[in-house]
Amino acid sequence: MTKLMTIGDAAKTSGLTAKMIRHYEKSGLIQNSPRSESGYRLYNNEQIDQLSFIRQARNLGFSLADIQSLLELWQNPERESRAVKQIAQQHLDDISTKIAELQHMERILMELADSCSGDGSPHCNILKRLTCSS
């Protein structure tokens, strides 16, 4: 017999908040849960596993669309691993691009900060360089 959990217990077990569980249910990532006679949402073990999967994928920065695709692949025993890898590789490529952009911003900001004397005078090379085009 499958043990059913309330949303509070599902939240504790999956590491998500009840609010996020309701959001994922509303967005269609997980099926709407049945309700108890008193109206409480009840979650089975399969849904708890899905919620844990979603939490892990969100912690890695996957979008909800990617998570939906990954969930569908996870639940499909006929899947090809190349489809899963393609989603993960695209996300990794996106992260690498963002890291490069952040490192570029860091270098520029370090140069700007180093160019300012930071004393009591009104002259500031940061402001001057921000107003220059190119």
CATH code of the domain made up of 1-62: 1.10.1660.10
pLDDT confidence of residue 118: 87
Domain ranges of the chain: 1-62, 80-134
pLDDT confidence of residue 39: 86
pLDDT confidence of residue 71: 96
The alpha-carbon radius of gyration of the chain (Å, integer) is 23
Q: For the chain, how far is it from start to end, CA to CA, in angstroms?
A: 68
Angle between helix axes 45-59 and 64-74 (nearest 10 degrees) is 140
* Vertex 127: Cα angle to 121 and 130 (nearest 5): 165
- Its pTM stands at 0.81
Q: Which is nearest to 14 in space by CA: 52, 71, 50? A: 52
Tens-digit pLDDT profile for the chain (134 aa)?
578 999 999 999 999 999 999 999 999 999 888 888 888 889 999 999 999 999 999 999 999 999 999 999 999 999 999 999 999 999 999 999 999 999 999 999 999 999 998 898 888 889 988 887 65
pLDDT confidence of residue 117: 87
pLDDT confidence of residue 134: 55
pLDDT confidence of residue 33: 84
Q: In 15-80, which ranges are continuous DSSP H helix?
A: 18-26, 45-59, 64-74
